[in-house]
Amino acid sequence: MSEGVLDVARGWLAQDPDPQTSDELRALIERAEAGDAAALDDLHDRFDTRLAFGTAGLRGALGAGSNRMNRVLVGQAAAGFAAYLRERAGEETPSVVVGYDGRRNSDVFARDSAEIFAGAGLRAILLPRLLPTPVLAFAVRHLGASAGVMVTASHNPPDDNGYKVYLGGADDGAQIVSPADAEIAAHIDEVAARADLGAIPRSADYETAGEDVVDAYVRATALVAPAPAGAAGLNWVYTAMHGVGHETLSRILETAGYPAPTVVADQIEPDGRFPTVAFPNPEEPGAMDLSFEAARAAGAELILANDPDADRLAVAIPDAAAPGGWRRLTGNEVGLLLGWRAARTATAGTLACSIVSSPGLQAIAEHYGLDFAATLTGFKWISRAPGLVYGFEEALGYLVNPDTVRDKDGISAAVAVLGLVAEAREEGRTLGDLLDESAATFGHFASGQVSLRVDDVSVIGRIMSALRAAPPASVGTVAVERIEDLLTAPEGSPRGDVLRVWLTDGSRVIVRPSGTEPKLKAYLDVRGDSAEDAAARLAAVDAGVRDILAAAQT
């Protein structure tokens, strides 16, 4: 067994072009050969499996080995994806746009990919510099490309990176879905089986996109909400969370006519180390502490925060009852406000959200006579809702301009929120007032989440199996009305490893594994007669769910 993994590791080392990961791997091999049990265990962790290519592309920790993100793995992925595109295109020459953010090795992985795409005879176009993920999603459609690749791990921990794939043509610039993921993965496996990265053709004959692509994104996004008179004097704070959002957003603000924000200086420049946050995710506890400090010092009215690749948006407002005087709105609160905004101007079409997002969006759609769709989690599904005019998911993702970008876009969402705030200011109101009006109009919806992070992902599977084998009869003191297992959902309905639990008082609990992190998540949704009633119902459901998950682990 030891010789087997050592042989695999030596074969990997022979094709690794990266001095850092090859030195890392060489040292591990030498230690394992000398009898170091910890080094041998590390090699097994790196080589007993490989990062799976799926509908989310690739994502994992940086390092040597097939179970890490590195130049060998990315090279194999690029060659496999190129083969898939050539097969899909037939006699035509496919084109692919490549973008990258500020994470470690993002630029290296992007250039490797562009060279391999060009070497495979594709028209490869590299974006001019590190840019937000929404710019890449925009560029696929704007340039009429066959596909796009974004090198990013979004809001994952600092040592991670990833490879996100989009398709043009009939897919209209959306992220891949099944069966494309399996077909691409099969091509990647064929390349990997040859274990010879150096034999993959490369070419420096790729294009570098001009600034006109970014200019076009800026113009289109500024039109989401040109600044009304109420924007004058708006005092607000912005953080890029050490990511790439600030430069592009600044240009859009100037074009649209909004005042520049006070920025969180320690987080405004791209820095793949993410030195001020444990997790560069605005949802994580402590991630927005510096924003709150800056807002208190500036006497601000609003905080907006992008995640590192700027495809998500967090919003915070002053709240005397909150610790430190500021409250970050939930993704559902922002999602319903932006859904209300979209519904007011839509004459037809669909409001869409993921199945784990607030049912309040359906109430808004029905109020305005619009269609509604609930999809599996992820904008690869939301963006494909027929007649889409707006989509969101509770994890801070919003799609406000589907005619421009078919993916979540934290920058266009920021412009839309600024528009809402500025319009409210003209009437002497705040974003908090809009939240109150929304609740009075559509219902007092409240949402929460119970998240269980694990070291061993097999624990998640055991919990899901336990819940299926012995479904709960009640959550707290409220009886279960029905349970839907989406693994066995009817044809045409969303299918996945998801349990939906409906309670007799109308509350809802959805349990599913996270698609990007080692977590089991339970999403809680209630509707009350008042804000206080909704909060009480939510607290009771939260306590009941925690008891159920604890019992399922034993």
Do the beta carbons of residue 472 and residue 444 sit within 8 Å? Answer: no
Characterize the bridge pairing of strands 371-375 and 474-475. Answer: unpaired
Name the band, by pLDDT with cuts 50, 70 and 90, for residue 516. Answer: low
pLDDT at 524: 95
Residue with tokens 């506890």: 285
Rounded to an integer, what distance in angstroms lies between the CA atom of residue 82 and that of residue 296? 50
Domain boundary among 441, 461, 485: 441
Q: With a cut of 80, say whether residue 30 has pLDDT above it.
A: yes
Segments in 278-400 forming alpha helices (H): 289-298, 331-345, 360-367, 379-382
Between the CA of residue 221 and those of 59, 181, 215, 311, what are the distances in Å? 28, 30, 10, 13
Domain boundary among 387, 419, 441: 441
pLDDT at 91: 77
Rounded to an integer, what distance in angstroms lies between the CA atom of residue 383 and that of residue 392? 9
HSE-CB at 236 with a 13 A cutoff on CA atoms is: 28
Residue 384, amino acid: R
Instruction: For residue 214, tell me if it sits in a domain.
Output: no
Residues 107 and 165 in one domain: yes
CA 450 to chain centre: 19
Residues 231 and 348 in one domain: yes
Residues 158 and 205 in one domain: yes
Do the beta carbons of residue 359 and residue 508 sit within 8 Å? Answer: yes
pLDDT at 494: 76
Q: Which helix (H) or strand (E) holds 125?
A: strand 123-126
Which residues 6+ apart lie within 8 Å of 335 measured at CB?
Answer: 353, 357, 358, 361, 392, 393, 394, 398
Residue with tokens 């490309």: 145
**Residue 291 Rama label (left phi>0; alpha psi -120 to 50; beta):** alpha
Residue with tokens 């206080």: 532
- Token pair in block for residue 87: 């097969």
Rounded to an integer, what distance in angstroms lies between the CA atom of residue 246 and that of residue 256? 15
Catalytic residue among 106, 154, 291, 358: 154
Between the CA of residue 449 and those of 242, 406, 540, what are the distances in Å? 26, 27, 13
Residues 526 and 481 in one domain: yes
Instruction: For residue 24, tell me if it sits in a domain.
Output: yes
Q: Residue 154 catalytic? A: yes
pLDDT at 46: 97
Residues 355 and 365 in one domain: yes
Which residues 6+ apart lie within 8 Å of 236 measured at CB?
Answer: 259, 261, 262, 300, 301, 302, 303, 304, 418, 421
Instruction: For residue 215, tell me if it sits in a domain.
Output: no
Residues 176 and 260 in one domain: no
Residues 307 and 447 in one domain: no
pTM over 0.85: yes
522 in helix, strand or coil? strand
Single out the residue of 321, 382, 56, 52 nearest to residue 189, CA to CA: 52
Residue 105, amino acid: N
Q: How many domains does the chain have?
A: 4
Residues 161 and 300 in one domain: no
The beta strand positions in 469-535, using DSSP E, are 474-475, 478-485, 499-503, 508-513, 519-528
Overall average pLDDT of the 526-538 stretch = 94
Cα dihedral: 286, 292, 294, 299 (round 10):
180
Instruction: For residue 328, tell me if it sits in a domain.
Output: yes
Do the beta carbons of residue 360 and residue 526 sit within 8 Å? Answer: no
Mean pLDDT over each residue of the chain, to the nearest integer: 95
- Token pair in block for residue 7: 């042989």
Rounded to an integer, what distance in angstroms lies between the CA atom of residue 383 and that of residue 404? 11
Rounded to an integer, what distance in angstroms lies between the CA atom of residue 63 and that of residue 60? 9
Rounded to an integer, what distance in angstroms lies between the CA atom of residue 106 and that of residue 70? 10
pLDDT at 454: 85
Q: With a cut of 60, say whether residue 1 has pLDDT above it.
A: no
Q: With a cut of 80, say whether residue 517 has pLDDT above it.
A: no
HSE-CB at 371 with a 13 A cutoff on CA atoms is: 10
Segments in 34-70 forming alpha helices (H): 37-47
Do the beta carbons of residue 149 and residue 96 sit within 8 Å? Answer: yes
Domain boundary among 417, 441, 465: 441
Residues 275 and 423 in one domain: yes
Which burial class, exposed, middle or buried, applies to 167 when counting CB atoms under 10 A from its CB (0-12, 13-18, 19+)?
buried
Overall average pLDDT of the 64-89 stretch = 97
- Token pair in block for residue 158: 């600092």
Do the beta carbons of residue 101 and residue 278 sit within 8 Å? Answer: no
**CATH number of the domain bearing residue 505:** 3.30.310.50
- Note if the bond before 179 is cis, omega within 30 degrees: yes
| pLDDT tens by residue, 216-241 | 999 999 999 999 999 999 999 999 99
Name the band, by pLDDT with cuts 50, 70 and 90, for residue 493. Answer: confident
Rounded to an integer, what distance in angstroms lies between the CA atom of residue 511 and that of residue 467? 9
Residues 247 and 181 in one domain: no
Residues 420 and 448 in one domain: no
Instruction: For residue 44, tell me if it sits in a domain.
Output: yes
> Domain residues for 353?
220-441
**CATH number of the domain bearing residue 203:** 3.40.120.10
Name the band, by pLDDT with cuts 50, 70 and 90, for residue 314. Answer: very high
CA 228 to chain centre: 30
Single out the residue of 320, 240, 241 nearest to residue 249, CA to CA: 240
Q: With a cut of 70, say whether residue 321 has pLDDT above it.
A: yes
Overall average pLDDT of the 464-471 stretch = 93
Residues 356 and 432 in one domain: yes
| pLDDT tens by residue, 427-443 | 999 999 999 999 999 99
- Token pair in block for residue 261: 């924000």
| pLDDT tens by residue, 106-142 | 999 999 999 999 999 999 999 999 999 999 999 999 9
